[in-house]
With several copies, the nearest count.
Chain A
Amino acid sequence: MEESNSLLVIIRHAPYSSNLLREGLDAALVAAAFGQPVDLLFLGQGVTALLKEQGIAAPGMKATRPTMDMLEMYDIEQLWTSEETLVALNLTRSDLRDNVQLIEAHALPAFMKSYSQILNF
C-alpha cells in the first residue's frame, strides 16, 4: 500500500447502530470502483460487522452482509482490525470472517501512516 493515492477507510460503528457503517462501506466501494486502492480497518464496535454470523438483518432494516460480501467483487480484499479491538470486545480471531487480518498492538500508528488518504467513519 505504498501507492500515492491509497485510501484507508476506518469503520468504527456497528451495523445497525447508525448508518455510518453503511455510508463508510459505500465510500470504500466508490473509491474501488474509481480504481483507487482501498483497505478497510474495523475498530471499536465496527468489528461486529466482521462477525461470522453478522448479516441477519434487524427486522425492517437492511442487512449489512450483502454489502460486506460485495467488497471482494470490488477487489477490496484486505479487511483489518487490531488486537486491542478484539480484546476490548472479548472476541477472538476465529469469531471473525476468514479474510480478516490482525494488526498487532502498537503497530496501528505505523499501519495508518502507510496510507496517503484516510476517511474515518
Chain B
Amino acid sequence: MLHILTKGPDSDVARQLQQAIADDDAIVLIEEGVLAALDGRWEGWTLYKSRIYLLAEDVAAWGLGELIDSETFATVDMQGFVGLTEQHTQTLTWY
C-alpha cells in the first residue's frame, strides 16, 4: 500500500497513519507533510525512513529546499509520485 500524508508530523493524522503502515508499504509526504523533513524526532524516520519519499515540488514551495540535506531524504517529482502509485495496488490519503 502507498500512504499519502498531507499534514505535518505533529498532527493527529500523522499518528493515525503510523498505526496503519505494513512492512512493505511506502509513504509519500506531500503539501504540509513535507514539514516532517524538519523534524528529526518524527517516529516515521526511525521506523521506516527507507520507504519515505518527499514530493520535490512541495519541498521547494514550502521553502525547505536549502534547509534539508537532500542526500539523506529520498525525493520524487510528480512523475515519480505517479510511478509509486503504479507500484502499489492501493493508495490511501491521510489528510
> Per-residue 0/1 for A43-68: is the Cβ within 8 Å of any B Cβ (1 yes, 0 no)?
11100100111111111010000000
A51–B15 CB distance below 8 A: no
Q: In whole angstroms, what is the CA distance A40 to B64 when docked?
A: 22
> Per-residue 0/1 for B25-43: is the Cβ within 8 Å of any A Cβ (1 yes, 0 no)?
1000001100100111000
- Least Cβ distance of A106 to chain B in Å? 8
Count contacts on B: residues with CB < 8 A to the other chain. 34
Q: In whole angstroms, what is the CA distance A88 to B58 when docked?
A: 20
Count contacts on A: residues with CB < 8 A to the other chain. 36
Q: State the A residues within 8 Å of B (CB).
A: 12, 14-17, 43-45, 48, 51-59, 61, 82, 84-85, 88-91, 95, 105, 108-110, 112-113, 117-118, 120
